[in-house]
A and B are shown apart, each in its own frame.
Chain A
Amino acid sequence: MLDTKEKVVEIRGLYKSFGDLDVLMGVDLDLYKGENLVVLGKSGSGKSVLIKILAGLLQQDAGSLKVLGNEIIKLNYRELNKLRLEIGFSFQNSALYDSMTVRENMEFPLVRNVKNLTKGEITKRIEGLLDSVGLPQTINQMPSELSGGQKKRIGIARTLILEPQIMLYDEPTAGLDPITCGDINNLINQVKEEFNTSSIVITHDLTCAKSTGDRMALLLEGKFDAVGSFEEVFELAEDERVKSFYDYNFIRK
């Protein structure tokens, strides 16, 4: 069914190592328009590295990576920046600018990249997004005054402000309570519905994976072994490594 859809990201034979440490060893992956793809994998398996390459923050050693039809390493800096407006990157540790208030954090990508917005329009957009992450009261606070979970949600809101076509969520629910996790999962789904966004969601949390993911991909030893629906990947899994990943999250009957 998905094959008929437009591919927004196409990864073929991607390799990346740091010194003697081989992290990605021949990754193949497709992301289709309007789907949420969940990427699972052990800590240190290279999930963050993969999406950093996707956003042009790191460069692969070999292999091809096309985003919206553009081979990332072939772009010059200006072209890359233009493409980056279509890619939202929500960092594992939020990466809020700590010298700026929440409002200034949210404004930063907006005022630098979208011209001709009035003050009122900017404020409206910021308030709207803060509402949807449930934190309208924090608008004038500094990041140092926020809890880890609040920072994470502001980080996601900041990423959404440019309404990107592709969203990369790096562990959006890690370290959050179950209720907030639920809210974040809903937000991820809501973004997909509303803007037809394609997302890669990196997570260890199978509840999050199950409620947000249209497809799952499991990164094992530098490659994607299993790609498919939740049932295909986990419930029918034969591979011991996949099973143990599942058993850790749910006690298998």
Chain B
Amino acid sequence: MAQVSNQKKSVITPKVDKFFMGLANAYAFVARFFKEVFVPPYEFREVIRQCYEIGYKSLPLISLTGFIVGIVFTNQSRPSLSEFGAASWLPALISIAVVRAMGPLVTALIAAGKVGSSIGAEIGSMKVTEQIDAMEVSATNPFKFLVVTRVLATTFMLPILVMYTDFLALMGSFINVNQNELVSMPTFFVQVFEAISFLDVFSSILKSLVFGFTIGIVGCYKGYNSTKGTEGVGKAANASVVMSMFLIFIEELLSLQIVNAIRNA
């Protein structure tokens, strides 16, 4: 509906033109999301179903990765800290690294690969096989039913997944620390929680919400705008992953700047 027609004659060069057209289309897509998300009817059941799908799809990989990242990072950090005789600071260091950066980043990248690509492919194939048109003619708003539900689901699920990753990474770290430094579980976690502040947790959750939104909206946008044919579906899936990973890194950088500014204020 609210999309800029890409059939106008090119003004500058076709490539530059296409880039700005794409930007305008993407902007219109995001604007449409915010316009429709607050207007009834709300598709609660579909949101819940999507949340479940997202969790179900990404949990195994996230569990494994979170745990291993915890072990490996602890192991690799030990020598540098030991040089200064500061191996006892390991829990604090790991805690800060995991909560501030690694947890959200690792989870978001995995979700972009797993969830983002499947959203892109699913919506893309619905587009090229005219299922979206079929929804439209049966008087259901496909944007609401397909896009709004998926974006809400990724947005709300990502913080939950991030906390889960954080927890597993810390558990992995604990096992490593426990074996090497013989630190007990209560001691380990007391150090972990002392190291992180409210700002750390709060910004981590906020960041995860943004990452989740990015994964959902990019997947939907690429799928919704995929061109005809099965090739278009593959491209949409692929482009969703590349685009959302790119944006996630940019957002990570931005949030780093913002949080640092707040911390120093």
Chain B residues positioned under 8 Å from A98 (CB to CB)? 125, 129, 131
User: Interface residue tally of chain B, by bracket?
Assistant: 10 to 19
The chain B residue sitting closest to A161, CB to CB, is: B138
- Is B136 located at the chain interface by the 8 A CB criterion? yes
> B7–A162 contact, CB under 8 A?
no
Say yes or no: is B139 at the interface (Cβ < 8 Å to chain A). yes
Query: Shortest distance in angstroms between A41's beta carbon and chain B's nearest beta carbon?
Result: 20
CA distance A98 to B139 in the complex (A): 19
Cα-based distance from A81 to B129 in the complex (angstroms): 21
Residues of A within 8 A of B135 (CB): 97, 108
Contact of B137 among A55, A77, A112 (CB under 8 A): A55
A96 at the interface (CB under 8 A from B): yes
Find chain B residues with CB under 8 A from A18 CB.
Answer: 7
Q: Which of A83-91, A131-139, A192-200, A242-250 contacts B (4 or more CB under 8 A)?
A: A83-91
A109 within 8 A of B: yes
Taking the complex as formed, is A117 at the interface, i.e. its CB lies under 8 A from any CB of chain B? no
Q: Are B131 and A57 in contact (CB under 8 A)?
A: no
* A84 adjacent to B139 (CB under 8 Å): yes
A123 lies within 8 A of chain B by Cβ: no
Most buried by A among B7, B129, B131, B136: B131
- In the complex the two chains form, is A108's CB within 8 Å of B131's CB? no
B 96-132 binary contact with A (CB < 8 Å = 1; else 0): 0000000000000000000000000010011001110
Tell whether, in the assembled complex, residue A57 and residue B138 are in contact, meaning their CB atoms are under 8 Å apart.
no
A109 touches B140 (CB 8 A): yes
- List chain A residues, Cβ under 8 A from B140: 108-109, 112-113
Q: How far is the CA of A52 from the CA of B136 in the complex (A)?
A: 11
- A75 interfacial contact with B, CB 8 Å: no
Chain A interface residues (CB < 8 Å from chain B) = 18-19, 52, 55-57, 77, 81-82, 84-85, 87, 89, 91-93, 95-99, 108-109, 112-113, 162
Q: Which A residues are in CB contact (< 8 Å) with B254? A: none
Known: A92-B130, A109-B138. 6 other contacts (CB 8 A): A57-B133, A57-B137, A93-B130, A95-B134, A96-B134, A112-B138
Determine how close the nearest CB of chain B comes to the CB of A95; give it in whole angstroms: 4
B139 touching A91 by the CB < 8 A rule? no
Chain B 128-169 interface mask (CB, 8 Å, partner A; 1/0): 011101111111110000000000000000000000000000
A-B contact pairs, 22 of them (CB 8 A): A19-B7, A52-B133, A56-B136, A57-B133, A57-B137, A77-B141, A81-B141, A84-B137, A84-B139, A85-B139, A87-B137, A89-B133, A92-B130, A93-B129, A95-B134, A96-B134, A97-B126, A98-B125, A98-B131, A108-B138, A108-B140, A113-B138
Q: Which residues of B contact A93 (CB under 8 A)?
A: 129-130
Query: Chain A residues with Cβ under 8 A from B125's Cβ?
Result: 98
Q: How far is the CA of A197 from the CA of B50 in the complex (A)?
A: 38
| A91 touching B134, Cβ below 8 Å | yes
CA distance A84 to B141 in the complex (A): 12
B130 near A81 (CB under 8 angstroms)? no
On whether the beta carbons of A162 and B138 are closer than 8 Å, the reply is yes
B43 nearest CB neighbor, chain A only = A112
Measured CA separation A108–B137 after assembly (Å): 12
Is there contact, CB below 8 Å, between B134 and A81?
no
Chain B residues whose CB sits within 8 angstroms of the CB of A52 once the complex forms: 133
The closest CB in chain A to the CB of B140 belongs to A112
B229 to chain A, nearest CB (A): 12
A55 CB, nearest partner CB in chain B, Å: 5
